[in-house]
A and B are shown apart, each in its own frame.
Chain A
Amino acid sequence: MKHVKTLNTQTMNNSLKKGGCGECQTSCQSACKTSCTVGNQTCEQKK
């Protein structure tokens, strides 16, 4: 494409197929204790 550079190769909705395994870290156990930062957690299946 001439006008667009897409930054990600995978889209979030692809993860619907697998469903959540729940093995990932709980947000507040990392480095936030007073806000919510789900989006920067890492998927356990992709480590």
Chain B
Amino acid sequence: MPWEESQRTDLADVFLKIISMMYLQKRYGKGYRTLVHQYQSNGYNIVMDVVSGAVHVVDQLCYDVIAGICKLKEDHSLGKTADWTQSDSAALWQGESEIPTEVLEDPHTLAKLIRELDGRYDEDEIKDALSDVTELTEAGQLFVRDTYESMIDEVKRRKTVVKALCLHIAHDCNLACKYCFAEEGEYHGRRALMSYETGKKALDFLIAGSGSRRNLEVDFFGGEPLMNWQVVKDLVAYGRSQEKLHDKHFRFTLTTNGVLLNDEVQEFVNREMDNVVLSLDGRKEVNDRMRPFRSGKGSYDLIVPKFQKLAESRNQEKYYIRGTFTRENLDFSEDILHFADLGFKQMSIEPVVGEESDPYAIRREDLPVIMEEYDRLARIMIEREKEGKGFNFFHFMIDLDGGPCVAKRLSGCGSGTEYLAVTPWGDLYPCHQFVGQEEFLMGNVEEGIKKPEIADDFRSCNVYSKEKCRDCFAKFYCSGGCMANAWNFHGTIHDTYDIGCEMQRKRVECAIMIKAALAEA
């Protein structure tokens, strides 16, 4: 029986739809998501293609067109397509979030966008912007599909080697900082100094466990490592003596409060240490409130001149002046600017991590003020850079071209696998923040890892194992966040510290906005 004309059209439509779907499935696979984040900051319209890492600064028209496409995509994934005709390009939007260029070039998409944008732009304008969007999509810089998730089993199964140790050279401290997670250096335990023998075994453990990895990192940490300075020097000498024998290169770093810093320490540090982290919280009253001596006296006056001298002696490179802000100095941008006024060029200030009951802990209601502080800091940094008085803020540093590879971003910070903390008596923990929590005791430097299941758990933790990371635009910048923070707030490393995530997202947005502003300058 011959088909009616209308039947033939319907069948042809269905046939074409199936062929198109097969073609698109073959080309793009099925079920991979795209993730685009748009925001406006300091007058810039910014579009991040999360999967490729591409970042675009666009005009208002293009910004609205991309938002319109994302809205159509969302409508489609939610099934809000009652008014979409069968022949609409919507039929091609298979999967929950696929946007192939065929969809962008389809006349039905244009018609929908005109409706979606409420007549704010005429057809030619939208066509023009769509042409740029199509070009980006074809170049793999927009609406790129997330194929990384299929690699995650490989990441979980990967053989890891230890490449970095945090040596707790002294579980003792000459300051009594109120927020110290190390409890004035004692880490839920007793005061102790690491012996040379234990430190040597730690370095041997690192060399033996590092496989073919050449660059090995050792951070002398505490408590206050300068309270065990001779052992630090002896361990550096031992490490250097082993480099040629094993074809390794040690990168030593020191984290210090500066109380015992002197010319001899400075000369040694400048010769041997790749990086020095100098702890100071900012303005005198802010620093002295949280970082007093045990007597209660503030530490600012003693420490600041020493840090200034050290930073200058290192040509203002390879160091960080590092502070902590709490809810008692939510105007922390003033503390960063204070660092700049003191002449420092490399700085870092992190939000305090504390129990919700701690009076100084960051609370959810503090977030609007903190967000405004980051915005303010970003604007001032742009001004200072343009005036030739720029400085680096660690948490706004982002290298859009030379940043870490996908493998690194998928594997996270490395705690528990590539990075371990060593106590003064040689016990191994996943990182410095877990020290003293017995359920995380992994082994010791003499016998090695006794509980590989702890390492396996850390190895399995990534942005795809955490539901909260799934749709987060910052997931490839924080790689799932700090596992110690997740543990502290949720009792599992497979979660995220929610307030920390909000601050992290803001810092990523600010960092990219600064790039946009400086690219224009």
Contacts and interface: CB of A to CB of B under 8 A. Distances in A.
B408 A20 contact: yes
B478 A38 contact: yes
Contacts of A15: 404-407
Interface string A5-31: 111111111011011101111111111
B348 A32 contact: yes
A19 B405 contact: yes
A43 B251 CA distance: 16
Contacts of A9: 401
A11 to B, nearest CB: 4
Contacts of A28: 166, 219, 413, 415, 419, 431-432
A47 B404 CA distance: 11
Contacts of B255: 33
B136 interface: yes
A1 B253 CA distance: 46
Nearest to A15: B405
Nearest to B354: A34
A42 B399 contact: yes
A39 B135 contact: no
Given A6-B141, A28-B431, A39 B409 contact: yes
A45 B59 CA distance: 35
Interface in B114-163: 128-129, 132, 135-136, 140-141, 144, 147, 151, 161, 163
B515 interface: yes
Interface stretch (B49-57, B72-80, B336-344): B49-57
Contacts of B286: none
Size category of the binding interface on chain A: 35 or more
A35 B158 CA distance: 24
A29 B54 contact: no
B482 interface: yes
A7 B400 contact: yes
A23 to B, nearest CB: 5
Contacts of A30: 275, 277, 320, 394
**Which of A19, A24, A39, A42 gathers most chain B CB within 10 Å?**
A39
A1 B132 contact: yes
Contact of B404 (A13, A24, A33): A24
A13 B406 contact: yes
Main secondary structure of the interface of A (DSSP, over half): loop
A45 B480 CA distance: 24
Contact of A16 (B62, B406, B414, B508): B406
Contacts of B52: 11-13
Contact of A13 (B132, B144, B275, B348): B144
B404 A3 contact: no
Given A23-B215, A26-B419, A36-B478, A3 B129 contact: yes
A7 to B, nearest CB: 4
Given A26-B163, A36-B480, A40-B399, A4 B53 contact: no
Given A1-B135, A4-B132, A22-B213, A34 B433 contact: yes
Contacts of A37: 394-395, 477-478
Nearest to B348: A31
Contacts of B515: 7
A15 B483 CA distance: 25
A20 B407 contact: yes
B41 to A, nearest CB: 13
Nearest to B402: A46
A12 B394 contact: no
B411 interface: yes
Given A28-B419, A47-B402, 4 more contacts: A4-B59, A5-B519, A22-B161, A41-B408
Interface of B: 49, 51-59, 61-62, 128-129, 132, 135-136, 140-141, 144, 147, 151, 161, 163-164, 166, 181, 213-215, 217, 219, 251, 253, 255, 275, 277, 320, 322, 324, 346, 348, 350-353, 394-395, 397-409, 411-415, 418-419, 431-433, 474, 476-485, 500, 504, 508, 511-512, 515-516, 519
23 contacts: A7-B519, A9-B401, A13-B406, A19-B407, A22-B163, A25-B164, A27-B413, A27-B414, A31-B346, A33-B255, A34-B351, A36-B412, A37-B478, A38-B478, A39-B404, A39-B477, A39-B478, A40-B397, A40-B398, A41-B403, A43-B399, A44-B215, A46-B402
